[in-house]
Every structure is written in C-alpha cells, then in structure tokens.
Amino acid sequence: MTRDHDVSSITRRQVLAGAGGTGLLAAAAPISARAATRSTAAAAADGTPEQIHLTWGDDPASSVTVSWASPGPARRPRVVFRHAGGGSHVVPAAQRVYTDGINGETVWTYHAELTGLRPASAYGYTVTADNDTSARPFAATFSTAPRGRQPFRFTSFGDLATPNTQWVLSYGQSAYAVAAVESFRPLFHLLNGDLCYANLNPTTQPEVWRDFGHNNQASAAHRAWMPCLGNHEVEFDNGTQGFTSYLTRYSLPDNGVRGFRGHWYKFRVGSVLFVSLDADDVVYQDAAAFVAGPAPLTPVSATGNPAIAPGTSFYIRGYSGGAQTAWLERTLATARRDPSIDWIVVQMHQIACSSSATGNGSDLGIRQAWLPLFDKYQVDLVLNGHDHDYERSFPCRGFDSMVGTEVATGAPVQTLRPHPVTTDDTGVFDTSQGTVHLVLGCGGTNANLDDYGVDTADGLRQAKVFTKPNRPIPGAAAGTFTRAAADAVEDAPWSARRDTSTGYGIAVFDVDPGVPGGHTSIKITQYHALGADPVNPATGAAGAPTPDYTEFETFTLIRPRSDRHAGHTAERSSALA
Ligand SMILES: [Fe+2]
C-alpha cells in the first residue's frame, strides 16, 4: 500500500489534546484517498483466513464466536471445532462485507457462532475455506466460561493502536500489550475503545484495521476480546454513526434493540454482569472524525461520496434517542433483582472521572446520563480508556453540586462532581457503597504519559470537565479549524491514585466468589511498562517499547454476596404459600 507522507511523528497528545494537534494532523496527513492498491484478481482468489479473533456469544459458558477476514471472498468459510476427546463439528460462517467510504476498498469478514458448548471446557478449532491458500488451516484453542459462582480472571486496557508505525498513533508497544494479555492468561480481555485509530488515517482505514487484526490475533484467537466503541471508531462515510468498520468486524451479543446491535451489549460470567456501553451517545466532547483543513477530505470517485469540507466533524451525541440509556436501566434493574449476580462491571471509552490535564478529562454527559443509574443500581466498577494514563477513583456515590469553574469566565458551573464516600486509601473498598472508576487508556498508543491536573491555587488535584459541546471553530491558520479543550475545571477529591511514571499498562482482575452469606471480592492489580513512553515522564530521556510489565499497585473491591438473604426470602415464600 502507498502513502503520501509519513505522519508517524505526530503524537497522540498533539492529535487529541485540543485544537493545535488536530490542525497539525490535517496539515501533514494525506487527505485525498487513493483507490485500493491490492490486485482485485488476486484478492478475489484468496479466501485465506486472517485477523482471527474470538468474542463471547450470548452465553459465555456455552457459546463463542470465531471471526476473521480474508483478502477476497471466501468459498465455504467454516470453523471445525472439537472438545477434548470428542468428535468434530463443522460450523459454516456468515459473510459480512463492506466497502470503505473513503478509499473504496472492500473488506470481507466471516463469523461463525459455536453454540452448545460445555462450561469451563477447552476446545480446539480450525478456520478455513475452500480457497484457503495456507499450507495448513489456522488452528488454536479456547476455553468457555464457568457457570455459577466460580473464580476467574479478566484483563483490560484501551487505546491499543497497531505496531505499524506508518499509521498515526501506532507504536511498537501495541504488540507487547497483546503479549501481556496472553502472559496473564485471562479468561477474556476487555478492550475499552479507541481500538486502532483508523479514523486518524482516513484514506487507509481498512489497512489500519488489518494491521490491528493481525496484531491482536496473537491473543484474541485464544480467548475472547470484548471491545467497546470509542471516539476513534467513528469514521466518515462508513454508516449512520460511522461504525461500519467496527460493526462488520465484530460479532457481539445481541442487545435486542432494533438498529443498534453491536453498539452496546451485556454478558455474564459467573456472578459478574459485564455491561459494555457506547459513550459516544452521551458525551459532550466532540473528538471523533474531523477534517481540520485547509484541504477537504476527498473520497475516491468510485465511492460516489463527495469531498468533506474543512471544519466538518462527525458528532453523534444523542444518536440512539435515549434507547441506550433505557436499555441500560432495564439491564441494571434486572441484574440487581437477581440473587445470582453479585457484581456489575461497566466498560465504556470516555470518562466520568479523569484528572488528565493534557488529555481529554472528564465529561458531564456521562455524569448526567449514567452515573445516577450507577448509583441507583450499585454498579461496582467502571473501566474507561480515552486518556493515556492510569487513574483510580475512590468509591463515589451522588455528587457535589456547583463546585466547577468555567475556564473562560471563572464563573461557577455545574459539573455534578462525583462524591467520594471515603478519601482514605486503605486498599480495600466496599463497592456496595460507591462506584470505583478506572482510567486504562494505557494500551499501546504512540503517546507520552498525560500530565495530571493540579489546582495551583490550593495544590489539590484538579480535573477538566466538558460541560458543553466543543464543536469546530476557526483555527489560527487560514482555512483551518480546531476543537477546544474542556470548558470547565473542578477540584478532584474523587481521585485516589495516578501513575506518574508511565502511560502504558494492563489491569488484571481476579474474581473470588467468596462463601455463602459472606462477601465476594475482586483483586485488581495494575501492571505498568516502565520506560515504554516515547519520552520518559521522569527523566525526559527517549524510551522504547518494552515487553516488561511490573506491578504498580494492587487493591481489592468487596461487596456482600447477593444470595445473602435469598435463603430467608425462599423460606418466607414457602411459609406464605
Ligand atoms: Fe478516545
């Protein structure tokens, strides 16, 4: 594939932290798409599976979906799987195809849902097609989830990118991050948004996704990787919300909401309900696809799509018309009535509680739409990406009113600041009393560690907060446009811990179901990759990607088991009957 310029020297901070960065990107990046360079004839003949990755089906104890892509259309694409000591089963794959709306390249993907599997069991599988040109079909193994209250491990980070440094925001740490997931051998991984930044490489989006898929396969072919949408999954000319690349490549549990399958979903493992949300639907921040100018973004003529004018941003706040929030409330209410569910863990990309000063910060949109529901239904843990750092909040419930300050005027402004139920960092937190938020935008993106906010007046931690849309405004150079940083600040007593030594890491979660009548716990360890930052935040020296992840901190969440009173309830019911 060809490119007009190498823009890999543009850092994530320049791209993400407000206006100047996006202007820079537009000035340097190629903006006229070229037709796909791959030979159509060769691609048409090649159904070799690549970018193989697993996701959970509707029930992780009994269903797993195998997804992949191939250079051209596959003939009779299929998965053959077998249980240890059992016979082979052949599952035909469904084909999903899209044509990128900017460079006109067609992407062929395949999805086979394996159902009727046994809980906590290992399976071997192969992926192939009649026009698979590999010497031997791809083969790997996976394990299904346990059923009932059982211990298990999962991992998480966001903002992964690819190891191909041709692409804006890609960096070698992306490969080590995938290897880190494998090294911890989790049951599954939560990839909390901004997967590969294809929308910052708008004329080569399918190629960026392809490098992302190749990189992830080293882990995602062996265990489910469950993603969520971030601002960088929003792509011009690829669907109503710009999600066609993501939605075509991932097969995710059905949320039952017509028109929005794959946008948000839930699944359950053991006594934990996992809820994956699309915060693009509620955030004020405008940080998705954007043409900063001065040149327009011009799709190839074959797409039939017109040039996209400078100053255009793809802003999708409110796109579900409240459907996602209504689904969330139904989901949370049902879960909290279920005595077999103890924990509710939410993943979403953008952040309610981030005190990053040079990155994005917090967003009032999430605080307005979803934190009241997290309070009402005792959501235990929220996992985010978006800012390139690691930050942990104290458990929070409710809010402190009118304690924000508008940056432009110094006037008081409502930020609905989450209220910490304790500021004593004991290392053990009862999340039935408040929700803990983690920022895990520490995957593999090419970026230096964010600076964290400090209120210079009192020395306390300070957070930036978006309280209104930062839509494009004219930039400094003629014909360019920019998007402003967050419009408000607040002191941040909810902030418990920030990693000031590196912006790279992975969080490892070990669920202990506990015993009947007692508490259950999740032990959380953040491992970080010291020295991986392009510029070391402590020394200023140049760093390099590293495979070495070491412990940064460990803490434990506890809550009473939900079956505590189930026995009493059952006795009372039988007495009444
Ligand atoms: Fe983001």
- For 345-393, the pLDDT digits (tens) are 999 999 999 999 999 999 999 999 999 999 999 999 999 999 999 999 9
In angstroms and rounded to an integer, the radius of gyration of the C-alpha atoms of the chain is 23
Ligand 1 centroid to Cα of residue 328, in Å, is 22
Q: How confident is the model at residue 182 (pLDDT cuts 50, 70, 90)?
A: very high
Q: What is the mean pLDDT of residues 38-49?
A: 70
- Give the mean model confidence (pLDDT) for residues 167-194: 98
- pLDDT at 43 (0 to 100): 59
Beta bridge partners of 162: none
For 440-449, give one letter per residue: b (16+ CB within 10 A) or e: bbbbbbbbbb
Mean pLDDT on 138-148: 98
pLDDT(31) > 60? no
Cα-Cα-Cα-Cα dihedral of 17, 21, 23, 27, to 10°?
A: -160
Alpha carbon distance 159, 384 (integer Å): 10
Helix (H) or strand (E) run with residue 468 in it: none
Percentage with pLDDT > 90 across the chain: 89
Please tell me the distance from the alpha carbon of residue 505 to that of residue 546, in angstroms, as a whole number: 11
DSSP codes of every residue in 327-356: HHHHHHHHHHT-TT--EEEEE-SS-SS--B
Measured in Å, residue 243 CA sits from the centre of ligand 1 at: 14
State in Å: Cα 117 to ligand 1 middle. 36
Q: Are 54 and 65 in contact (CB under 8 A)?
A: yes
Distance between CA atoms of residues 400 and 422, nearest Å? 14
Between helix 173-184 and helix 205-220 the angle, nearest 10°, is 30
Query: Which 3 state secondary structure label does DSSP give 400?
Result: strand
* pLDDT reading at 18 higher than 60: no
Q: Given this model, what pLDDT does residue 40 score?
A: 53
Q: CA nearest 374: which of 437, 426, 425, 440?
A: 437
Distance 91 CA to ligand 1 centre (A): 36
pTM exceeds 0.75: yes
Give the per-residue pLDDT at 44: 60
Distance 490 CA to ligand 1 centre (A): 21
Q: Give the confidence band of 29 by pLDDT, cuts at 50, 70, 90.
A: very low
Reported as type and span, the H/E element at residue 360 is none
Least confident of 82-96, 136-150, 558-572: 558-572
- Closest to 55 in 3D by CA, of 37, 46, 67: 67
Across the chain, how many H-helices and E-strands are there? 10, 31
CA-based nearest residue to 554, from 528, 516, 535: 528
* 568 compared with 151, residue with greater pLDDT: 151
pLDDT of residue 86: 80
Q: What is the pLDDT of residue 569?
A: 42
Q: Indicate the average pLDDT of the chain.
A: 92
Residue 352 half-sphere exposure toward CB, CA atoms < 13 A: 33
* Distance, CA of 385 to CA of 428 (rounded, Å): 23
Question: Strands 188-191, 152-157: parallel, antiparallel or unpaired by DSSP?
Answer: parallel
Cα 465 to averaged position of ligand 1 atoms, centre (Å): 15
Given a cut of 60, whether residue 498 has pLDDT beyond it is: yes
Partners of 418 in beta bridges: 399
Would you tell me how many other CB atoms lie within 10 Å of the CB of residue 106? Answer: 16
User: How many angstroms does the Cα of residue 359 sit away from the middle of ligand 1?
Assistant: 9
pLDDT band at 84 (very low <50, low <70, confident <90, very high): confident
Question: Locate tokens 């059923």: which residue?
Answer: 147
pLDDT of residue 564: 83
Bridging pattern class, strands 412-413 and 404-406? antiparallel
154, 527, 528 from 551: Cα distances, Å: 16, 4, 6
SS3 497: strand
Q: Does residue 7 surpass a pLDDT of 80?
A: no
Gap from CA of 291 to ligand 1 centroid (Å): 17
Q: What is the model's pLDDT at position 572?
A: 36
pLDDT of 30 > 60? The answer is: no
Return the DSSP state at 308. B
Q: Is the pLDDT of residue 239 over 90?
A: yes
Q: What's the mean pLDDT in 4-32?
A: 36
Tell me the pLDDT band of 85, cut-offs 50, 70 and 90.
Answer: confident
pLDDT of residue 24: 30
Provide CB contacts within 8 A for 361, sequence distance 6+: 351, 354, 355, 387, 453, 463, 464, 465, 466, 485, 486
Tokens standing for 162?
Answer: 């690819």
Ligand 1 mean position, distance from CA 441 (Å): 8
Q: Residue 24 is which amino acid?
A: L
Residue 464 pLDDT level (bands cut at 50, 70, 90): very high
Q: Is the predicted pLDDT of residue 49 greater than 50, yes or no?
A: yes
How do residues 264-279 score in pLDDT, each as one tens digit? 999 999 999 999 999 9
Which region holds residue 225: left if phi is over 0, alpha if psi is between -120 and 50, else beta? beta
Q: Are the C-beta atoms of 266 and 253 separated by less than 8 Å?
A: yes
At 566 the pLDDT is 53
Residue at 180: amino acid letter:
A
| Paired sense of beta strands 488-491 and 404-406, if any | antiparallel
Tens of pLDDT along 507-566? 999 999 999 999 999 999 999 999 999 999 999 999 999 999 999 999 999 999 999 865
CA 4–ligand 1 middle distance (angstroms): 26
257 C-alpha to ligand 1 centroid (Å): 25
Average pLDDT over residues 467-476: 98
Whether residue 246 has pLDDT greater than 70: yes
**Among the listed residues 552, 399, 574, the one whose alpha carbon sits nearest the alpha carbon of residue 490:** 399
Ligand 1 centroid to 194 CA: how many Å?
5
The helix (H) or strand (E) run that includes residue 112 is strand 106-114
Q: Which range is least confidently modeled, 80-89, 176-185, 374-383?
A: 80-89
* C-alpha 159 – ligand 1 centre gap (Å): 7
What share of the chain in percent tops pLDDT 70?
Answer: 90
Cα separation, 179 vs 172, whole angstroms: 12
Q: 465, 350, 489: which is closest to 409 by C-alpha?
A: 489
Per the CB < 8 A criterion, the answer to whether 425 and 496 are in contact is yes
Cβ neighbours of residue 489 closer than 8 Å, sequence gap 6 or more: 404, 405, 407, 453, 455, 462, 463, 464, 465
Give all strands (DSSP E) within 453-569, no chain letters.
Answer: 462-466, 473-474, 481-482, 488-491, 495-498, 505-512, 519-528, 550-560
Spacing, Cα 27 to ligand 1 middle (Å): 21
HSE (CB half, 13 Å, CA atoms) of 249? Answer: 32
- The identity of residue 111, as a single letter, is H
Identify whether the C-beta of residue 167 lies closer than 8 Å to the C-beta of residue 449.
no
Alpha-carbon dihedral sign for residues 485, 488, 489, 492:
negative
Distance 17 CA to ligand 1 centre (A): 10
Q: What are phi and psi of 325, to 5 degrees?
A: -65, -40
